Structure 1
Amino acid sequence: MTSKKDRPAALNSNTFLINKTDNQEVQSLVPSKQEDFSKREARGDGLIDGVAQRRKTGHIRRGLMAGPVPKETNRKRQSQTVELAQPILCVEKGNLESLAGPQLAFKNTSGGGEENLDVNLTEENLYKKNYRRKGQSTGNEIKMKTRPNVHELNVSEMVLDDIDDVDLPEVSLQAPVLKCSFVGCPVDQHTAMELKTVLLGSSLNSFSAEWINQGFAFSNTRELRYGIVQKKGGPCGVLATIQAFFLKKLLFEHTDNSSNILLRLRPSDSTRRQCLVLALSEVLWRAGEEQKAVVVISSGRSHFTPVGQYRSERLLDKMMWFSVDNINDLQVILEQHIEQYETEVLGCILLTISAVLSRSIEKVREDMDLHTTTLIGAHGYCTQELVNLLLCGRAVSNVFDNDIELDSGNGNMTLLKGIKDRCQVGLLSLFEHYNICQVGNYLKSPSYPVWVVCSESHFSVLFGLQRELLISQKEELEFDLYYYDGLANQQEEIRLTVSVGKLTQNFQEIDADLIPPLELCIRTRWKDALVNWNETEPLL
């Protein structure tokens, strides 16, 4: 259960999809029928008001032509039924806030289409996923021949068909209400101002065009179908990190593809989308400490009128957030709205804000060495805090292992916060080559051979195809690494052959200015490694 402190902003009566009057109307439909049925059942009356019994002899069965109907035998006819668990409608504000997970959303019948803010998850999709949610249940079940649209069900018009008299005590007149939607809370001005402050430094600052116009769109180049394309500089840290987790899913966890791992580098459109959903889910779930996550989408309309010290680009005021407490629900929401992340606009901003709210604005500030640090720095570049938030779930300011305490004098200690445990994907930095920082083993030796590369104020990705290279103890080692830079307008695959050990030469004889920065980054992980670019022009 998300605590009040972790919620982006306090909710008011306007944040719910149904107002109080609507809630009372919805609730009043069910008890009246239920009580009426209970009274009749107590009297032993098998008839139900409002539902005319139809003679089976005159009933046309689906799939059969009309004609003579044979007499019923003494053997009970087996009904083709589908049993659906029936949850209680929780529509009051207190109940919504107390639900231990994604909450129910209902269409607003009193307003126009703009007021319908549900996610539109279909009942069919939930059945395909063998999908069950936490929540209260009446214990009653309803038997139906088909699965009608939930929004089209009308209790007053419901007709029970193909039900024998012995089945009547098990029948409920309630329409089945599935937990197939999530309550979305609009971002209010207070939350928008706090988000802008932690991201940009002030609520008066604005997102750059490079951020606004960047999403997670893939390359159509045959050899680079796995690559996310960056249009302009700025959000490269976000793109490279998601690219790294995408490759982890594609190469090592997506089992539907060919056993030939090289063929996995040519994914289909559906595979790319599926792996992107999984990658985004993993990042957000880790940011929420694997207990909760927040997904932010654009609703297309403003939810507040800006006042005071706030500059609006008509972005945050149109956003809504959905809070979930299990990763399956997280994947469902992202899959339903993945197009908003894939398009050429807002994708990076939506993901960044989702990660911040999943962690919570307060905890993001606590992670940093200086609480005034921003996640987006000068010229729109991603800071190390933002990259670390996506990589390991904490917006810490450093890349070394664990925390370090420094004596500031006069008995004062300064705490420098680092990476707490081994990461799934890692990071290599050119700054380490210049002794500006030290990357710890938690990032240098991740669980999977995929690294975000920080080089010359830009982030890109380096990855291998064999996990064994992370644990090999051989003195002489040779392996291939693949490099991808979404901003470089890359048109071909870059495969590097790395040799480690006695096969390498003395690099002291080579002019340092002629060594590509990428090679220097590789050598922070494999000392004195020899890199063969395999007829590809080295990137200087």
Structure 2
Amino acid sequence: MMGKDVEEVSASLVREYLSRKGLKKTIACMDEELPRTNSSVNNRSDLRRILHLEGLYKQNKVEEHSLKSMLEIIVKDRMSEGDKTKVGNHDDKQAYPLEQTMSISSLDMSVKRDQSCMESLLCDSPRSSESSMSQLPSQTPENTRKKSFAVHPESEKSVYRLPSSHDLPTVSKEGFLSEKKILDNDNQKNRSSRIRRGIMAGPIASSLHESNRRRPARKVPSSVTATSEDFRESANWTNGLNTTNTKSNPSSSLEGESRMFSNLNKGTIDHNRHERMSEVKHRLKNSAPSPKLDGLHVLEMVLDDIENEESLCGVSRTSMPELSLDKTPMDQMTATALKEIIFGSPMACFTEEWKQQNFTFSDTPGLKYGIVQKKGGPCGVLAAVQACVLQKLLFGESSSGSLDQRLEVSNVLRTKCLSRALADMLWRAGNMKRAVVAINTGRSLFIPIGRYKSDGILEMITYVTVDTLDDLTLVLEKHVRQFESGPFGCILLTISAILSRTIATIQSDMDVPTSTLIGAHGYCTQELVNLLLCGRAVSNVFDDEMKLDSGNGNFTLLKGIKTRCNIGLLSLFEHYNICKVGSHLKTPTFPIWVVCSESHFSVLFCSSEDLATDHCIEEEFDLYYYDGLANQQEPIRLTIYPHCPAEAAQSDSDADSDLIPPLELCIRTKWRNAVVSWNDTDPIL
């Protein structure tokens, strides 16, 4: 259990460093290969407390040039400890002329090498970085070990030996040597030997067990000799791991090391040991380079770019406050329940039409507000989202200017409206109390067994639960690219809405608990559309509830729309007397309607909010129509004459019904005697 805790804390320390440096792709790669768990440390103050960094953190805050990350604070403390011991040793070098000087020099080099190892770890793949950090010795102030080389008794002038873990000379803050007893175990030997030799700078296995199994630690000889040139070359490789094709000047630390070792007798080198050092350096130079991140599909990964003080899981670097997220990885039980409510069977899978659909906007001039539907199937979800996006664009706080100006939106504005529209939909589904956002991690989180068919989607989802609308908006603004540009955007919204409402509540919403949200041929059912528009997965579109007498004093309760909705609905089925759309949907808060016509959903909207409040409008008005599947090339503007003379209405109704566009029939379910002008646009039949 302790090993797992060390791994989680180490991973959090690395993530905190990467987020402070703005390394988005590296964080994305790390989250893909090693997703966060419930044991992850998601708060900076908790991380400081676990690592006992409160004192160092306070000192750092008051400095003129304070460091941003805890890893840098730790490294700076280690380096400053080395400087203090060098000063103390200089004052007392008469009492300890040779042994202490070499110990202090070795300590300084060891500290710098530890720093180099950490920097190299952060340049390698995130998974390797986290695993490597988990194997480093504890670096808290209370547990910091000062490393040094001891002088070999037989050759004090030029030969060093590595001390045993039983009797490790250390240097106190005052600059005097002291003895510290250390427990000897195999893991500690492996870690200390790797750090001294620089092996931890390269990619290593994901766990200590795998590391020992794949690459056994070589035994460190009782004495290892090297010249200043050897150490300088090794340090140059460690510090310059990712400086290929760039000029680098010798650092001051390397010059210091050169001066420290310049007085060694170079003629007393043990050639066998020198060969071993060369072999180690050769292995280091030929170790695998860090992976290229250019080819990563980072759109469906979770990105962290945090500048806030306390949170490791915030959602913006500049404008978003700290946010602690409750993340839950998908398990097979939840995935099975989701498939039951969506398809009716855990053996069913999403079709390719659903998998490929997201909320990508059109680039056609005049239609940049429109979401493009690639193929038939998820049109109900797309139309509901399109209507909510139009609500934000036309009647949001920032909306101003003419209709053309409001609809000719920038990429940034339409993405912002999308994230806020999704937030409203999920918040309604969660009964204004909670919401859940499904996120694609890019890797499978469980291995399906038994009667469950994998489709490579539900298995990769982690869902985040939030308790306020502000937090929900922040999460969606951070992950909106997964919905807008990711491969499963439409599915992620559907899963988010179901989990926000909860599966049990959705079943209680339906007239028949065994109903599904996706019907035959991959089409959205009315329950799914109502869930997104009204927040409840009811099966009907009439107002309130209806009781049907079943005889013998029994009755069947049919559930409808309880309150007035922001977005309305018009249905061709009402024209054929199959259903009755109630006023809660027919007269919404905003003049925007989802249109259900011939098993397809599209959108009608008006730029004047007065149309929603004036129930007896007399003058003509314009409605705009958008169908994401129709490959529109220009806006479609319809002029509605709500109260035409009876003769005109009668002549129009006497026309061949096959020649009347279904859209006009839907419009007349609200404005009964309306005449529709298509304004030089070919009617859609």
TM-score (normalised: structure 1): 0.71
1:522 partnered with 2:667: yes
Distance 1:258 1:403 in 2: 39
| Alpha-carbon distance in 2 for matches of 1:220, 1:25 | 45
Alignment check: 8 A CA contact 1:396 1:418 kept: yes
Distance (Å, rounded) in 2 between the aligned partners of 1:402 and 1:347:
32
* Number of the residue aligned with 2:679: 534
Call closer, same or farther: CA 1:261–1:475 in 2, change over 3 Å: closer
Gaps in structure 2 of 5+ consecutive residues: 1-35, 60-76, 84-129, 135-205, 208-290, 309-314
Q: Which residue of 1 aligns with 2:259?
A: none
Give per-residue Cα distances to partners, 1:151-190, cap 9 Å, x unaligned: xxxxxxxxxxxxxxxxxxxxxxxxxxxx445242111000
CA deviation after TM superposition for structure 1 residue 33, in Å: 5.1
Q: Does 1:328 align with 2:470?
A: yes
1:332/1:520 CA distance change after superposition, 3 Å: same
| 2:409 is aligned with 1:267 | yes
Give the match's secondary structure for 2:570. Answer: strand
Say yes or no: does 1:123 pair with 2:293: no
Partner of 1:218: 361
CA contact (8 A) 2:305 2:317 kept: no
Q: C-alpha distance in 2, partners of 1:302/1:121? A: 24
- Alpha-carbon deviation of 1:261? 2.6
Task: Kindly indicate whether the alpha-carbon contact (under 8 Å) linking 1:118 and 1:183 is maintained by their aligned counterparts in 2.
Answer: no
Preserved contact between residue 326 and residue 466 of structure 2 (Cα < 8 Å): no
Cα drift, residue 270 of structure 1: 0.5
Q: Does 1:369 align with 2:511?
A: yes
Compute the displacement of 1:286 (Å).
Answer: 0.6
**Residues of 2 paired with 1:391 and 1:239: CA distance?**
11
Q: Shift of the alpha carbon at 1:265?
A: 1.1
The answer to whether the 8 A contact 2:366-2:404 is kept is: no
Larger Rg, first or second structure (1 or 2): 2
Distance 1:388 1:25, change over 3 A: closer
For 1:497, what is the secondary structure of its paired residue?
strand
Answer yes or no: is the 8 Å Cα contact 1:214–1:346 preserved in 2: yes
Q: 1:473 to 1:360 in 2, by over 3 A?
A: closer
Please list, as runs of the form range in 1=range in 2, the aligned pairs for 1:419-498 lying within 5 A after superposition. Answer: 419-472=561-614, 474=616, 476-498=618-640
User: 1:123 offset after TM fit, Å?
Assistant: 2.2
Q: Deviation per CA, 1:87-140, whole angstroms, max 9, x where unpaired?
A: xxxxxxxxxxxxxxxxxxxx89646999xx975152267685473xxxxxxxxx
Contact 2:534–2:565 (Cα < 8 Å) also in 1: yes
C-alpha displacement of 1:488: 1.0
Counterpart residue number, 2:374: 231
**Which structure 2 residues correspond to residues 98-497 of structure 1 after superposition, within 5 A?**
110=134, 120-123=304-307, 129=319, 131=321, 179-255=322-398, 258-343=400-485, 345-472=487-614, 474=616, 476-497=618-639
How far apart are residue 474 of structure 1 and its match?
4.9
In 1: Cα distance, 2:497 partner to 2:507 partner: 13
Deviation for aligned residue 1:29:
2.7
Question: For the aligned residues, what is the CA RMSD?
Answer: 3.0
8 Å Cα contact 2:41-2:47 kept in structure 1: no
Give the Cα–Cα distance (whole angstroms) in 2 for the partners of residues 496 and 505 of structure 1: 17
| Per-residue deviation, 1:516 | 0.5
- Cα 1:475–1:389 change in 2 (3 A) is closer
CA distance in 1, matches of 2:54, 2:476: 38
Counting aligned pairs with the same residue, the percent is: 53
Q: 2: distance between equivalents of 1:436 and 1:473? A: 24
- Give CA-to-partner distance per residue, 1:241-299, whole Å, 9 cap, x none: 000000000011041x5422321111010111010011111000110011111000110
Greater helix percent: which structure?
2
Distance 1:312 1:480, change over 3 A: same
The aligned amino acid for 2:346 is S
Instruction: Tell me the amino acid that sits aligned with residue 522 of structure 1.
Output: I
The within-5 A match list for 1:25-64 is 27-30=49-52
Match of 1:505 among 635, 640, 649: 649
Q: How far apart are 1:508 and its partner, in Å? A: 3.2
**Bigger relative contact order (CA 8 A; separation at least 6):** 1
**Alignment CA distance shift 1:27-1:252 (3 Å):** same
Q: How many residues align?
A: 412
Distance in 1 (alpha carbons) for counterparts of 2:490 and 2:450: 27
**SS of corresponding position for 2:620:** strand
Distance 1:126 1:273 in 2: 15
Provide closer, same or farther for how the CA distance between residues 509 and 129 of structure 1 changes in structure 2, counting only shifts above 3 A.
same
- CA distance, structure 2, for counterparts of residue 130 and residue 31 of structure 1: 26
- After TM superposition, the structure 1 = structure 2 runs for residues 11-22 of structure 1, keeping only pairs within 5 Å, are 15-18=37-40
Q: Which amino acid aligns with 2:563?
A: D
Greater alpha carbon shift after TM alignment, 426-435 vs 504-513: 504-513
- Superposed CA deviations along residues 178-235 of structure 1, whole A, max 9, x for unmatched, are x445242111000000001100111011110000000000111102111100011000
* Structure 1, 188-197 or 329-338: larger mean CA deviation: 329-338
Separation of aligned partners in 2, 1:354 and 1:505: 45
Residue identity matched to 1:264: R
Structure 2 distance, partners of 1:474, 1:415, is 33
Deviates more, 1:343-352 or 1:273-282: 343-352
Distance in 2, matches of 1:511 and 1:130, equals 58
| Deviation readout 1:8-39 (Å, 9 max, x if unpaired) | xxxxxx9414399xx998644338859x99xx
